[in-house]
Chains A and B, each alone.
Chain A
Amino acid sequence: MPHLATVVLLPLALALVALATPSNRLRPLLVPAAGVGHATLTGLLLWGAPQAAEGAWLGLDPLGRLVLGQVSLLFLISALYAPGYLALRPDRDNRPCVSMCLVFVAMMSLAILSRHIGLMWIGVEASTLSTASLIYFNRNARSIEATWKYLLIGSVGVSLALLGSFFLAYAGLSAGLETTLFYQDLLDLAPQLSRPWLRVALVLLFLGYGTKMGLAPMHAWKPDAYGEAPGVVGALLAGGLTSTAFLAVLRFAQLGLAAHEEALVRPLFLASGLLSMGVAAVFMVGQADFKRLLAYSSVEHMGLLVIGVGLGGGGTFAALYHMLTNAFTKGALFLSAANLHRAYGSKQVSDVRGALVRAPASGAIFLLGFFAITGAPPFGPFMSELALLSAALSGGRVLLTGAVLLLLFVVFLGMGRAVLSMALGPAPEATARDVQADSFATVAPAALLLLLSLALGLWLPAPVLDALRDATAQVEGRP
């Protein structure tokens, strides 16, 4: 079995190769190379047993296995899209974009594997910094604004998370225990940690890593960043970075539950989740920009994830399941939206008409992706949302279930109005500017992601089901 560090070091090494490669045409091929390499290593690691050795800096617990597998698969498919996309932009120097994309994947992997909360923080912060140049890819006034907001809000968020990590360590020190920032040590000591420090730490950590997930009210960076970044970057952010941040949130939820702080953790998660869904629904109705529409959809689904954890038990299982289905469906939506953006030379809903005629494949994927993400059967998100709602109902949370259903319905209407008007009707006359129609390289990855979303709705293979159950048991503290 390969060493754990290889999934971090391989993309880093390829990033150096990308910096040294002079050819703008050949350099993008390093992205799929990294994707295949990363996925192969991840596959070998997942094939083996979970490893979380005492005092080791890197480890792979059930939760980490689930997230690493998801991120690696999403990166592999998105990476296949990247060369086709960059080939359409020969005017741009892609050196910063390619190298930083590989650093980004390395840092996400580092954050996922870290068994030390300081090291995990470094991974998350470095992944924020490395994505800045990806969001700034188009180098115009709008993208610099999005990059600036992303950097500032993200950095403040992770600073709060760092303060929270320190408070957590002090909670151990203050209770007369050995000071440690190793996750497993903190988990073992959880019931003995000093309460006031622990509570403030849990809130700060949730706020900090919640900012990286894009939970309301710390979501302000999300529509700007997703709206201005290239679609493939949007796919990686919405399914990769957010899942990594969710993992961090889950780790501290696990710690809070192990410390018997259910009365703090669950309501905090439920309230933040409902607020995120509410804010997203308000901004999705009448949204004029379809990439921003997808960004708000991401805010909505991050809300669903934390609501699931707030419910606990079956809700946590549903949240983890939804993390997978959301990541792949969002990937398909972002990639097909990028193709539509190019086919029409605009990302305004009002400029796109008859997408099923102008760009039949991308239009169809976008339309089906919309049905999938809003919870239409038989796609994956339908099954995971159903699991979430039934967990809420079986817990006797009728009001909460009603609120979630209502918000899902509002989102369906808001998103549906935009997507249907884009997909249907006659296409306008093509102008000279918008020439790139669908090609295999830009359509196949999006189709593959949509197929994954469909497959996860029809059938959960035994290894995936086991991984979900193990991860749920880990968070809920029932090994």
Chain B
Amino acid sequence: MDKHVLLRDLDIPDIRELAVYQANDGYAAWRKALTGMKPDEVMGVVKDSGLRGRGGAGFPAGLKWSFLPKDIFPKYVVVNGDESEAGTFKDHQLIENNPHQVIEGVALCAYAVQAGTAYIYLRGEFYEPARPLQKAIDEAYAAGLLGQNILGSGYSLDIHIHLGAGAYICGEETALLESLEGKLGQPRLRPPFPAVQGLYAKPTVINNIETLANVPPIVLNGAQWYRQYGTEKSPGTKIFCVSGRVNRPGNYELPLGQYTIRQLIEMSGGTIDGCPVKGVLPAGSSAPILPVSALDTRLDYESVQAAGSILGSASFVILDDSVDIVWAARKMVRFFRHESCGKCTPCREGTFWALRLYDKIVGGHGSSHDIDMLADVANGMANKCFCLLGEFATSPILSTLKHFRPEYEQFVREHQNGLPNTYGDQLIRDHAISVAGGSVVEVAY
């Protein structure tokens, strides 16, 4: 790609400034829509582009918008900037370095569904990156691009930022709505779907920040232009977040389906010290780990799924041979144990007991029986949880057992009498903290 579609700050460093953004086609799509396109036409272009949700589910965005009933008002646009999947940091870069494109995308979405208010829900830890985004919103208001009767069109729109406060579950769209309504961030039963009864029980579109950042160039250049990138079923470009054991971790924007996982690792500078790859998590802790045999999988939704995982938010965490797989799986399970919202029993209890088992194994007190029990716990959760968080929590357990069971067996064999290695105290202490709510206590098995 000669020019970025989303990470335009890499080509134009000052694009966060309104004047620079406008000098580079900024708000041209917004002007085009407001002065010459009906809301349905905007929706139509996005539908035709085949843009799929970039938050994880990959659901076609235009289709999602079309589910809103036409005759019920007010409608809302809610932007998911919770970005809490381990290994994901793309929205962080977008709001910090290319905020106007995000705002323009939100505005076009709101116009297409005729919403008068949009809320951008950012994770609480984005307190600092929220500042350039808020500055950009203020500039857009001052320039008459937001607010009342925008550009004389008769259409009015307000955009507000709302900060979460540290809860992974709020990335689940109905939990996000609960949180935005001032309640505990716990998922809602569906139906009704948010498109019909979302925020304040009104029709609501919820899209990820990256999804909406795609909309301005689509509306400006057309669906066919967008489809020059990517594949038939996965059109467009996607930001791939690469982290872990590579030399140049970072965000890489690529056309979907054009490159393989192996090439992505090469672009990221290869592994540290050239150590062989052990496994790849394509969507952070939530995605089943892919073994080395899957490195030639193409980077699109269908190919990654066919390989046995999910593309999700495309947060690639690279593990090399220096990584102990039991240790890595425990880290991921600890994450889900910490983030389980407590609403449903399989997730609340399952993540608790799974972490206990990992602590027992890593603490040097595990046996082959405990490895079997890990699989039992995960299978006891699978397909029984209220939302995807609990389902995702089984991924690190079941997928590492599937591909690396011999490593588990070796681990329990070699650590029979307590853990002599370097990270032991840290692991045991993590557990003690999670049990005692912050104070360090001795844990006996």
Q: Do A and B come from one complex?
A: no
Binding site for B on A (CB under 8 A): none
